[in-house]
Amino acid sequence: MNTIEKTNEQTSSTHRCRIPLCWAFLIAFDVSLMALSYAQDGDTNPADPTAQSVMTEIAGPDDVAVETSRFEAIDVFVDSGTRQLAAWQLELKSSANDVQIVGIEGGEHPAFAEPPYYDARAMNNNRVIIAAYNTGDNLPIGRSRVARIHVQVRGPGARTWESELTTSATSDGTKIPAEISIAKATQG
């Protein structure tokens, strides 16, 4: 099973709390019950097996004026390991308010070359939920760029992006574990 990589500030700031030992047992018992229920149910929550949130910093120039803007692209990769990836959904957002999403491009594999659709209601300046599926036979295996997000960034410095893969599945609908990662797009 995939490890869940949670690296935001909230996660790291919750380590100080002290919990009485009896509460700890109670929480552990509850969690166990939930796990048992989950296993007996057999119907998995689609997002759970694969959901992962990754924080990535995309560097930017420090020596530019605050009012200047630049356009850059962020490549989004999904690594489905040894399984064929037929469907995916992910969320990409920035904690910064001075970034705007200005275009969505498809991926490198022919199965996901068409620009993915985005959820209009979820679309914000700095947040997008995109998804794509392909019912064909020629599907990517391993790590593949599934989308490229074009953004406008105002002002100097790096911006941190949070990416989360909420769905990844094979062509028969089976949810599969996969990892998401992003990187600044480069030519070539």
Q: Decide if residue 4 touches other proteins (CB under 8 A).
A: no
Give the range of 5-13, 84-92, 134-142, 167-175 binding other proteins by CB under 8 A.
5-13
Number of residues that bind other proteins (CB under 8 A): 71
Q: Decide if residue 182 touches other proteins (CB under 8 A).
A: yes
Q: 3-class secondary structure for the chain? A: CCCCCCCCHHHHCCCCCCCCHHHHHHHHHHHHHHHHHHHHHCCCCCCCCCCEEEEEEECCCCCCCCCCEEEEEEEEEEEEEEEECCEEEEEEEECCCCEEEEEEECCCCHHHCCCCEECCCCCECCEEEEEEECCCCCCCEEEEEEEEEEEEEECCCCEEEEEEEEEEECCCCCECCCEEEEEECCCC
Find the binding residues for other proteins in span 55-74 (CB under 8 A): 55-61, 64, 69-73
Site string for other proteins, 158-177 (x = CB under 8 A): x-x-----------------
> Pick from 50, 51, 54, 92: which binds other proteins (CB under 8 A)?
54
Q: Decide if residue 31 touches other proteins (CB under 8 A).
A: yes
